[in-house]
Amino acid sequence: MPSVGAEGLSSFAPSAGFLRRRRLLAGLFAALLWAAAALSVLITLAIVAVLIGESLPFLEEVGLSAVLLDTVWTPLFAEPRYGIWALVAGTLTTTLIALALALPAGLALALYLCEYAPPRLREAAKPVLELLAAVPTVVYGYFALLVVTPLLQGLIPGLPPFNMLAAGLVLGVMILPYAVSLSEDALRAVPRELREAAYALGFTRLQTGLGVMLPAARSGIVSAFLLALARAMGETMVVTLAAGQNPRFTFNPLEGAATMTAYIVQVSFGDVPYGSRAYRSLFVVALGLFLCTFAVNLLATLLSRKRSHRGA
């Protein structure tokens, strides 16, 4: 027990100077953290500001209705049209194909790693899976164009060399590691007691996985897939190389169609004069893309927050 001084204070009571220095240091550190947080928010806001700033003159010139009420996107033609839905359709179709592949495969893989795989396999499999995420996307793009499309052409005669099916499937493989890795983290974060309760009650592995683990990890898994989805939406190389650069309002996966990102690449590389209308159309598309991924991210946040209210 510390000895007690004359005034009844412990002899370990810190001096006023020590307390002041400590308070200063804590304040300094808090300011540093605040600055870091503020910086990331500022950067996001700056990007949005630029997108809006560059898009507004364009929208004033052609009108919002020309963008939102048309389905033909031909900004580089002599008689340009700016129906952005042609590009949105391409993005949505490839993204949905990607999700159709990644969702079942990702859930199955995550569940396998968590409930079935022997611990050693699990430890080995996850880094390998995460390595998949390190493959450059341009490699995925050529893989789609030169391997997947020829394979699919063997199954579906008449499939054009540029098609959204191949692009979407490869996109699905590309986002799989994110989805699996994050889902598996969510599954592993399920309290051990819950798993034990299921087994003690006589659940099989499959029943435990589907009936207890997946529902318990639901919020984490939903955000994992929404993050993967946002990635698929913003992905550029795969869709540019495999789905082509021809803006076409179609949801048919067997056709080629440019996505929003593919158009941005096309125009960025082309000889579009600075400040021209075509140049500004770039920012409108970018703004549209930003709104799409932002909506998905927002959904992810809302869904995981809604869940945590219940204390799960």
Partner 1 sequence: MTVAALPIPSRTAEAEERPLKLRIANLSFWYGRRQVLFDVTLPVRERRITALIGPSGCGKSTLLRCINRLHDLEPGHRYQGRILLEPGGLDVLAPHTDPLLVRLRIGMVFQKPNPFPTSIYENVAAGLRIRGVRKRALLDEQVEKSLRRAGLWAEVKDRLHDHAFNLSGGQQQRLCIARALAPEPELLLLDEPTSALDPAATAHIEALLSELKSRYTILLVTHLMQQAARIAHDVAFLHLGRLVEFGPAAEVLVRPRDPRTRRYLAGHAA
DSSP alpha helices (H): ranges in the chain? 16-62, 64-68, 85-111, 119-132, 137-143, 149-155, 164-188, 192-200, 205-207, 214-216, 218-234, 237-243, 260-269, 277-308
Q: Which of residues 165-194 bind partner 1 (CB under 8 A)?
A: 191, 193-194
Determine which residue in the list 216, 222, 227, 272 makes contact with partner 1, applying CB under 8 A: 216
**Which positions from 226 to 265 touch partner 1 by CB under 8 A, shown as an x/- string?**
----------------------------------------
Distances (CA, A) of 156 to 88, 113, 142: 25, 34, 20
Closest to 297 in 3D by CA, of 215, 210, 225: 225
Residue among 198, 243, 272, 287 that touches partner 1 (CB under 8 A):
198
Binding partner 1 (rule: CB under 8 A), the pick from 31, 53, 160, 204 is: 204
Q: How far is the CB of 266 from partner 1 (least distance, A)?
A: 47
CA-based max dimension of the chain: 96
Decide if residue 310 touches partner 1 (CB under 8 A).
yes
Closest to 225 in 3D by CA, of 104, 90, 76: 104
Residues that bind partner 1 (rule: CB under 8 A) add up to a total of 24
Map the footprint of partner 1 across residues 61-120, applying CB under 8 A.
118-119
Nearer to partner 1, 61 or 123 (CB): 123
Candidate list 40, 200, 274, 308; residue touching partner 1; CB under 8 A: 200
57 forms part of the interface with partner 1 (CB under 8 A): no
Could you tell me the smallest distance in angstroms from the CB atom of residue 215 to partner 1?
6
- Residue 215 binds partner 1, judged by CB under 8 A: yes
Binding test (CB under 8 A) with partner 1, winner from 71, 74, 153, 207 = 207
Residue bearing tokens 């880094």: 127
Round to whole Å and give the CA distance between 301 and 310: 15
CB atoms within 10 A of CB 77: 10
Q: Is 114 exposed, middle or buried (0-12, 13-18, 19+ CB in 10 A)?
A: buried
Using CB under 8 A as the binding rule, whether residue 211 contacts partner 1 is answered as yes
The least CB distance from residue 284 to partner 1, in Å, is: 44
Alpha carbon distance 269, 8 (integer Å) = 77
- Residue from 2, 127, 202, 273 in contact with partner 1 (CB under 8 A): 202
Task: Residue 65: count other Cβ atoms within 10 Å of its Cβ.
Answer: 9
Residues that bind partner 1 (CB under 8 A): 118-119, 191, 193-204, 207, 211-212, 215-216, 218, 310-312
